[in-house]
Amino acid sequence: MRARSEAASLLSARRSRKAMLFGTWYVAEHGLRTMSSYVTTIITGSIFNPLIYLFALGIGIGSYIDANAGGIGQQGVSYLTFVGPALLASAGLTAAFEETTYVVMGGFRWSRIFWAMNATPLRGSQIANGVLLAAGFRIVFTVVAFWLFLFAFGAAPSPWAPLAIPAAILSALAFGAVMMAIACRIEDDDSWFSIIYRLVIAPMFLFSGTFFPVERYPLGLRWIAWISPLWHGSQLGRVASYGLEQPAWLVMVHLGYLVALLAIGMRLSHTGFERRLSK
């Protein structure tokens, strides 16, 4: 009897060790399956969203600014080239928002699927990782699609321009991790998400040097850009996309800030998920 039960526990110890290694992936797999039910929305959004912005800002406002002010960005690049990397990052952030707020609320509250996952060897931290990994797939898809449009519109002139893609992905992931850390602490009131959207995300979009350089804002407003992952991602993207001149230390600050935000967001998501699931 003893030998048999030991064999059984060995088998399942191996099973659960494997589950531990791949657990994040299994959760992400689930997220991707779920996304496939609204894949049309994702693809349509990924095509129309860039087109609308590129036409409005490139051909509309952009041509006006370019003709009258000789380009708003430094170094005389076209307006579209200037806003391009910021729009790219912001498309990533929007995808991240959707995949880390309502998805997390749903997993805890509506479908309760996180509780089902946690009844298996999966840990709360793996569930959080898996949610962000799945979001990552959507972010990559969205950002790459957007970038191809930028490229097609001639708004990515530098040979380094493709590096704007990882910059946008990193800022979206950092932002997603923070949103997830918040979402897992909201018990059942999903109206918080629209409040956060209006009070945090919309202002971030407007004051993060998206449409004109942060130096043109009064000092009292610049801090919004400094703390915003969108600004750091946009600036990195501009360095890559058209060679915006930034001292090396500042590039490191942008990178370091985003990595730190990602790490803190994930850490807080882990504790949030684990605490809520083990109540």
Partner 1 sequence: MLHDMNDGDSVMIRSRGLTKVFGSIRAVDGIDFDIGKGEAFGFLGPNGAGKSTAMRMIAGVSRRSSGDLTILGMDPNRYGPDIRGHLGVVPQQDNLDTDIRVRDNLIVYGRYFGLPLSYLRTKADELLEFAQLEDKAGAKVESLSGGMKRRLTIARALVNEPEILLLDEPTTGLDPQARHILWDRLFRLKESGVTLVITTHYMDEAEQLCDRLMVMDKGRIMAEGTPANLIRRYSSREVVELRFGSDRNEDAAKRLEGTGDRIEVLPDRVLIYTDDGERDLERIVAGGMRPVTTLVRRSSLEDVFLRLTGRSLVE
Q: Which residues are at the interface with partner 1 (CB under 8 A)?
A: 1-2, 5, 8-9, 12-13, 15-16, 18-20, 22-23, 26-27, 29-30, 33-34, 37, 111-113, 115-123, 277-279
Our CB check for partner 1 shows the closer of 232 and 270 to be 270
Our CB check for partner 1 shows the closer of 121 and 243 to be 121
* CA 18-23-24 angle, 5° bins: 140
Three-state secondary structure call for residue 190 = coil
Considering only the C-alpha atoms of the chain, give the largest distance between any 2 of them, rounded to a whole number of Å: 87
Report the helix count and the strand count for the chain, using DSSP H and E.
13, 0
CB 124 within 8 A of CB 118: yes
CB 221 within 8 A of CB 211: no
Our CB check for partner 1 shows the closer of 34 and 158 to be 34
Q: How far is the CB of 254 from partner 1 (least distance, A)?
A: 37
Our CB check for partner 1 shows the closer of 29 and 190 to be 29
Q: How far is the CB of 177 from partner 1 (least distance, A)?
A: 22
Q: How far is the CB of 207 from partner 1 (least distance, A)?
A: 37
Q: How far is C-alpha 263 from the chain's CA centre? A: 13
Q: How far is the CB of 15 from partner 1 (least distance, A)?
A: 5
Tokens of 62: 């952009």
Question: What is the Cα Rg of the chain in Å?
Answer: 21
Our CB check for partner 1 shows the closer of 26 and 217 to be 26
Q: How far is the CB of 121 from partner 1 (least distance, A)?
A: 4
Listed in sequence order, the residues at least 6 apart from 228 whose beta carbon sits closer than 8 Å to its beta carbon are 204, 207, 208
Our CB check for partner 1 shows the closer of 16 and 158 to be 16
How many CB atoms lie under 10 A from the CB of residue 145? 17
Q: How far is the CB of 228 from partner 1 (least distance, A)?
A: 33
Our CB check for partner 1 shows the closer of 150 and 277 to be 277
Sign, CA dihedral 175-181-183-186, equals negative
Q: How far is the CB of 277 from partner 1 (least distance, A)?
A: 6
Q: What is the dihedral of CA 29, 270, 260, 185, to 10 degrees?
A: 100
Tokens of 117: 């996952």
CB 225 within 8 A of CB 214: yes
Q: How far is the CB of 11 from partner 1 (least distance, A)?
A: 9
Our CB check for partner 1 shows the closer of 190 and 251 to be 190
